[in-house]
């Protein structure tokens, strides 16, 4: 039996905030691209919501992590990158689609981290 949960989900195409009125949201917008991440690639004196600052490098979001690699999605990008132990699902990377082995992790805005297994209280 298939269940339809779509009525519980927000329709991002209608409720997504964009800086340009009448502009359709991009793939990055629907994945959660915010100015926090844009500031990491654009100069501080030139705030922008669109990442066009570094030639060849495009922002992508990690959607899956496997032993064989990282599945990332962005504007016109849907690919698997080599594995990286510092990257997890939800992270934003700057990737050159022509050289997928080279990527840069953008600083996280938040992190959900579980406690260590056992009775010890450390993280």
Q: What is the chain's mean pLDDT, rounded?
A: 77
pLDDT at 98: 86
Q: b/e per residue, 60-90, with b = 16+ CB within 10 A?
A: bbbeebeeeebbbbbeebeeebeebeebeeb
Q: Residue 30's domain is classified under what CATH number?
A: 2.40.50
pLDDT band at 63 (very low <50, low <70, confident <90, very high): very high
Instruction: Please report whether residue 35 resides in a domain.
Output: yes
Report CA 23 to chain centroid distance, whole Å. 20
Q: Which residue has the higher pLDDT, 72 or 50?
A: 72
Q: Is the pLDDT of residue 118 over 90?
A: no
Q: What is the pTM of this model?
A: 0.65
Query: Could you tell me which residues are beta bridge partners of residue 72?
Result: 62, 79
Instruction: Please report whether residue 118 resides in a domain.
Output: no
Instruction: Please report whether residue 6 resides in a domain.
Output: no
Report CA 39 to chain centroid distance, whole Å. 14
Please give the tally of structural domains in the chain. Answer: 1
pLDDT band at 23 (very low <50, low <70, confident <90, very high): confident
Residue labelled with tokens 């032993």: 67
Domain that holds residue 77: 26-105
């Amino acid at each position: 039996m298939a269940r339809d949960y779509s009525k519980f989900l927000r329709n991002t195409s209608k409720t997504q905030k964009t800086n340009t009125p009448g502009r359709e949201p991009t793939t990055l917008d629907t994945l959660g691209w915010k100015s926090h991440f844009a500031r990491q690639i654009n100069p501080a004196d030139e705030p922008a919501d669109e990442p066009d600052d570094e030639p060849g490098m495009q922002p992508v979001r990690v959607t899956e992590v496997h032993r064989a690699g990282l599945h990332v999605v962005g504007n016109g990008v849907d690919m698997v990158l080599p594995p990286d132990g510092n990257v997890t699902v939800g992270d934003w990377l700057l990737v050159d689609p022509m050289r997928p082995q080279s990527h840069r992790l953008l600083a996280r805005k938040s992190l959900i981290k579980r406690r260590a297994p056992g009775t010890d209280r450390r993280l």
